[in-house]
Amino acid sequence: MSDVTLPALGESVTEGTVTRWLKAVGDSIDVDEPLVEISTDKVDTEIPSPVAGIVQEILVQEDETIEVGAVLARVGDQAAAPAAAAPAEPAAEPTPEPAAPVQETAPAPAPTPTPEPAPAPAATPAATPAPAPPAPEQPAATPEPAAQPAAPPAPAPATPAPAAPAVAAPPQSADSAASVATPATPAMTGQDASYVTPIVRKLAQQHGVDLNSVTGTGVGGRIRKEDILQAASAVPTPPAAPVTAAAPAAAPATPAPASTTDQSAEASALRGTTQPMSRLRKVIAERAVASMQQTAQLTSVVEADVTDVGQLRSRVQDAFVQHTGGKLSFLPFFVKAAAEALQAFPIINATVEGESIVYPATENISIAVDTERGLLTPVLRDAATKTLAQISQEIADLAARTRDNSLSPDELSGGTFTVTNTGSRGALFDTPVVFLPQVAILGTGIVQKKPVVVSHEGSDSIAVRQTVYLSLSYDHRVVDGADAARFLGQVKARLEAADFVAVMGI
C-alpha cells in the first residue's frame, strides 16, 4: 500500500482541513484522480492520488485539521480488489441464486414494455420502501437503489451486460441528464454527482442554468464549471424560464437583475439555519481579532477630485479595450498612485517582525477580492514598476482566478500593502482593518458626482465634479499621523493631476 499525504500547498501554508472525501474505502482510483478536498487559509483545492489502486483506509475524517506531510489515506494496488471482493461473495451467494433468475428472465420480456417492473423486485430486497410505489414512483426511485446494488454486480463479468438495457429503459420517463449520471459510474454517482461546489452553484445561478438538467463530466459524474458554461451557451432560454416565472411570483417587476435574484435565493436558503464557520472564515476572524488586539489602529481620510482622471478614461477607453481586451476602471489609477507614494514613503510599505521593522525593496500590493468563500487578497507584485494596462490586466486575472479558486497559495502571500475597493459596492468610505504583518491599508470609496467649490484665476465657483474618499488605516505603533497624511496627500495630488499618459502602457 502507498500513503497519500498532505502535500505542501505553499510556503506559508502549514496545515489544512479535510472538507470532503471524493472516494470511499473500497473505491478504485487512478493516478492523479482527485481523492479529497482540502481547505487552507489561502485556497481550497483537491488532492489527487499519486498512485492507482483501491482505497484501503481513510485516516482523517471530514472537518479534521492536519499538518503538511500527515497521512490522509492509504491506497493499495489492483491486487487488493479481489481480496476486498472475496469476503463479499460468500455473503452474497445465497441471495444471487434467487436474484439470478430474475436477471435471466428480464431479457426475455425485454421487447415488451414490461421489463421495467422486473428490476423493481430485484431492487426490493435492497430497499424495503420501494414496493409501495411500484408503477408511478419507479422512475424517480430507480436511480437511488441503483447506486447501492451496483457494487455487488460489479465483480460479475457477464451478468451486468443484460442489466444495461434495463437501466437504459427508465430514462424514457425520467430526465435525461439525471439518468445519464446514474449508469456513468455507479459506485461514485451517489457520492460525487449529487455534490455541487458553491462556486459551481453560484455560476449556475448567475447563468440561469438548472443543475438538474446538466450532465456532469467530472469524476463520478460531478458537475464542473465547464459544464455550466457549456449548458449556458447551448440552451440559455429553458433555464431562464423558471427564473422568470419565479420573479413575477414575488414581484411583478420583470427586469430583475441576476445578482439581486441570486442574493434573494441565498438569503432565503440561509434564514432560520445554523451553519458552521468555514476554515477561511475562522482564519479571517482570528487574524482580524489579533490585528485589533495587537496593534494601535486609526484611520485618516482625504477627498480627491478625480474629474480629470475620468476624462482621461473616456478618451483612452476605446484604445485601451482594443489593446488589452478589458475596460479601464478607476482602480488601476488608485493602485498606481498608491504604489508610487509607497516608494516615496516606505514606512507605509513596511512590515513588522517581532520588534523589528522591515522595509521591503518592492511594492507588493494585496488586492482585496470579495468571494463567496470570504475575503481573499491576491498579491500584485512590483506594482510601482507596472503600467496601467499591466495593473488592470493583472487585477482582472487575479480577481477571476481568486473567485474560481484556481490561485496558488503563493499568489496570496507576500503582500506589503493592501488596497480594498469598497466603493465598488457603493460605500462612501470605510475604516478597513490592517492585517498583520502589514502596517497600512488603503480603502477607496465610490466615485460620485457632486457640487464642489473650484478656484479659477482667483475666483471661486461651484461646479459638478467627480470625487472619491480615500481612507488609510494604519498601525500607530509604526506609522505616525503625519506619515499617513503625507502619504494620502501625495496620492491625492497624483490623482488630481491625472498625468498618467506616460504610464498608460497602450
Catalytic residue ranges: 476, 480
Cell 427508465 belongs to 170
**3-state class of 469 per DSSP?**
strand
- Interacting residues of 447 by C-beta distance below 8 A, sequence separation 6+: 306, 310, 330, 423, 466, 467, 468
In 3D space, the residue among 180, 195, 163 whose CA is nearest the CA of residue 96 turns out to be 163
Contact 4, 34 (CB under 8 A): no
**Strand arrangement of the beta sheet that strand 53-58 belongs to:** 2-5, 71-76, 53-58, 28-29
In 3D space, the residue among 5, 1, 2 whose CA is nearest the CA of residue 72 turns out to be 5
CB atoms within 10 A of CB 263: 12
> Which cell numbers hold the place of 158?
457477464
How many Cα atoms are found within 13 Å in the side-chain-facing hemisphere of 243? 23
- Interacting residues of 90 by C-beta distance below 8 A, sequence separation 6+: none
Contact 328, 336 (CB under 8 A): no
Paired with 418 in beta bridges are 366, 441
Cell 421489463 belongs to 115
CB atoms within 10 A of CB 330: 20
Contact 70, 15 (CB under 8 A): no
Secondary structure in 3-state letters for 272-311: CCCCCCCHHHHHHHHHHHHHHHHCCEEEEEEEEECHHHHH
**3-state class of 269 per DSSP?**
helix
CB atoms within 10 A of CB 267: 9
- Positive or negative, the CA dihedral 46, 51, 56, 58 is negative
Q: How far apart are CA 498 and CA 355, in angstroms?
A: 39
Secondary structure in 3-state letters for 338-374: HHHHHHHCCCCCCEEECCEEECCCCCCEEECEEECCE
